[in-house]
Structure 1
C-alpha cells in the first residue's frame, strides 16, 4: 500500500488510521496532539507511543511537512513565502502589524475562475491543495508562534476546494487541533454559492465576499463567475443567514480607475447591500503585467469611502502591502513557474 499523508487528517480520520493498524483508539488523540500542538515532523518524536506503533505508522504514513522554498521581504515588513507542492508552487503572505500578525494562505495551485485582475488566473487551474498542504503554510511558517489571524485569500478560490478547506478549518479550530477561535479566521469567495452556503453552515469563521461591482453586466467583465452565480443569487444566499454579532461578513472591493469608482457605483452599492450588517473593504489594485486595468487614485478612494459612509455603509480603505515583492496574488509563483520561458519583467 502506498504511504498516505497523516498530517492534515481530522481526529475521526486519525481514529480510522490507528484502527486499521490495530492500535488503540486513544492513540489517535495522541497523534493529533503531536501533529497539531507539538508541531513535530517525524514519528520518532511521538515519545508516548510504543516503538511498535511508531514503526507501524512510519511504514504506512508520512508527515507531509515541508519548509518554504524561498521568501521575499517587503520594505513594509510583509513576507511572501514560496512553498513547493509536487512540481508546482504556492504562496503564503505574512503581514505583521502593530496589533496583529496575519497569514494569507492559498487553497489551490492556480485558479479556474478567470478574474480579469488576478495573476493567479493566468496560470489556469492546476491542482487542489490538500488539507495538509493548506495547513503546512501555517505549520512551517518561521513566524508561526507570532500568528494571530489567518485569511484564506491567497491563490485559488477556497469555495472551489470546499472539502479540504473545511477539513483544514476543523483542524485549526478544534480543541484537539490548533484550538484557535474561528473569529481569528476569514475565508474569501468570489461567490460560488452552493459551497458558500455549506461553509456558512459548517464553519463559524468569518466570510469575505469579492464584489468589485454592484452591477451584473459590469461584474461579468471582471469576474466570469457572474455568468454562473449572479449577484442576486449571491446576495439572496447571504440574506438567508443570521450571522449574529460575533461573526463578520465583509465585501472586498478592488477599485479600478474609471471602471467602478463613480457616484453610480456608490448608489449601486448602497442599494445592493441595504439591510446587510457588513463592512466594505476598499482595496488598492496591485498592477499586473499587460493588464488594461489601472488602480483608482488615493483621493478617489477616500472620496468613495466617505460617500459610502454618508449612506450608512461601513467602508474602509485597506492599506496596500508588499507591492515591491510581487504581492498581487500569484505574481511570485507565476514568476517562478515561468522563469525559464519568459523575460523577468515583473
Structure 2
C-alpha cells in the first residue's frame, strides 16, 4: 500500500492548519506558533521549532513538510531591480520581480499561473499559452524567496497569469500572506491585477479584501477586442459597470493600467474617451509605455504622446501616474527571462 503523501504546510491557511493540527489533538495556539516559525523566522524544518514538543515535531515531520524555494536564475539590473526564475517540482518555470522603491522600500511582483490563457496581444506571457495554475504554496513561496534578499513592503499580483483565473488558490495565498503572526501584509499593501473577468471580480470582493487593478489598455471595444480577447466576453460597458459596483473603502481607488502603444491607443481622442469611461469611479491611472520585445510589432509611444496623454488626464482631476520602466537591462518585462531560457533549452 502506498504511503500517504505529506502535505506542504505552506499550502494551508490558518483555518486549514488548525484543522490539520486537531488530528493530533493540538490546540489552536499551536498553529500560530508554527506560522511564526515558518513566515516570521523563515525556518524550513519542524525540528527547529523549539517551543513545540519533540513528539509533535516528529508527528509533523511524518505528515507534512515545509517547502523552500531558491531561484534557478537571478538577474540584477543596474537600477536594483531583481528578476527571479523559479523551477517548479514538475519542471515548469515562473518568474517574480523585486522592484526597489524610494526610502529602501521594495515591491515584489508575483505570478499566479504557468503561462496565461488570456492571450492579450501585447503580452509575451500570453504567447506561452496556459500550462497550469500555481498552487497556493507556489504563490506564497515567491514572496518568501524574494524576502530572503531583504524586507518586502508591497506585493502586486501582476506577474505571469491571470489571478482571477486561479481564484481559489489566489484567495488562500492572500489569506496566508495577510496572517498577523506570519508575514503580516496589510490589505492596503497588496494589489491584484485582472484583465477584466467580471464575475470573478465581484466574487473576489465577497471573499477577501485586496486593492484592485484593472488592465484596461483601450477606450473602444473595437481596439480592446483586438488587444484583449477577454473583451469579447466582457465588453467595456459590462467591465466598467463591475468597477462601479466593486466595493471600496473610503481611502481606496481602483487602479486602471493603461499600456500606451504607439498609434494604437495613445491619441488625445483616447485620453478623452478614457475620462468618460472613468466617470463616477474612484480611479487612478497607471500609464505604462509599451515594453518592446521580439515577436511583437507594437512600438513604444513617443515621449510627446505620453506627456500629452497624461497632461489631459491630470487637467481633468484624474490621478494619472507614469510608471517608470525598471529593469530594462535584465529582461524584466513579464515572461522575457522565461522565454529566453526556454529557447535555449
TM range (shorter): over 0.9
CA deviations over 1:124-183 (Å, ceiling 9, x no partner)? 101211121111111112555421111111111111111111111111223233222111
| 239-248 or 109-118, which deviates more | 239-248
Q: Distance in 2 between matches of 1:15 and 1:217?
A: 50
Residue pair 1:113, 1:223 contacting (<8 A) in 2 also: yes
The counterpart of 2:65, out of the listed 37, 42, 62, is: 62
1:154 to 153, 159, 162: 159
Per the alignment, residue 102 of structure 2 pairs with 98
| Cα deviation, residue 25, structure 1 | 4.0
Other-structure match for 1:314: 319
Structure 2 segments unaligned to the other structure (5+ residues): none
Matched residue, 2:198: 193
SS in structure 1 opposite 2:307?
helix
Aligned partner (choices 203, 208, 215) of residue 208 of structure 2: 203
- Structure 2 distance, partners of 1:240, 1:234, is 10
Poorly superposed stretches of 4+, deviation over 3 Å: 21-26, 142-145
Tell which deviates more after alignment, 250-259 or 143-152.
Answer: 143-152
Q: Secondary structure at the match of 2:98?
A: strand
Worse-matched range after superposition: 34-43 or 209-218: 34-43
TM-score, reference length from structure 1: 0.94
Aligned pair partner of 2:81 in 78, 82, 86: 78
Deviations 1:202-240 (A, max 9, x none): 222211100000111110100011111111111111111
The CA deviation string for residues 22-79 of structure 1, in whole angstroms up to 9 with x for no partner, is 4444322222221222221111111111112111111111112111112001121111
SS in 1 for 2:344: coil
| Alpha-carbon distance, 1:247 to partner | 2.2
1:43-62 matched pairs, under 5 angstroms: 43-62=46-65
Residue 181 (structure 1) aligns with: 186
Note closer, same or farther for the CA distance 1:21–1:144 as it changes in structure 2 (3 Å cut). farther
What SS does the aligned partner of 2:10 have? Answer: coil
State the shift of 1:186 in Å. 0.9
What's the counterpart of residue 297 of structure 1? 302
Secondary structure at 1:274's aligned position in 2? coil
SS in 2 for 1:282: strand
**Counterpart among 236, 244, 248 of residue 243 in structure 1:** 248
Native 8 Å contact 2:268 2:308 kept in 1: no
Please tell me the root mean square deviation across aligned C-alpha atoms, in Å. Answer: 1.5
Higher mean alpha-carbon deviation, 33-42 vs 72-81, is at 33-42
Deviations 1:254-295 (A, max 9, x none): 000000011221121011111111111110111121211111
Q: TM-score, normalised by structure 2?
A: 0.94
Query: Aligned pair in 2 of structure 1 residues 12, 324: CA closer, same or farther (>3 Å)?
Result: same
1:164 to 161, 164, 169: 169
Q: Does 1:132 align with 2:134?
A: no
Q: Which moved more, 1:268-277 or 1:306-315?
A: 306-315
Task: Report the Cα distance in structure 1 between the residues aligned to 2:5 and 2:11, rounded to whole angstroms.
Answer: 17
Match of 1:5 among 8, 25, 45: 8
Contact 1:11–1:176 (CA under 8 A) maintained in structure 2: no
Residue pair 2:252, 2:282 contacting (<8 A) in 1 also: no
Match of 1:343 in 2: none
Question: How far apart, in 1, do the equivalents of 2:32 and 2:155 lie?
Answer: 24
Structure 1: segments with no counterpart, 5+ residues = 341-346
SS in 2 for 1:161: helix
The 3-state SS of whatever aligns with 1:338 is helix
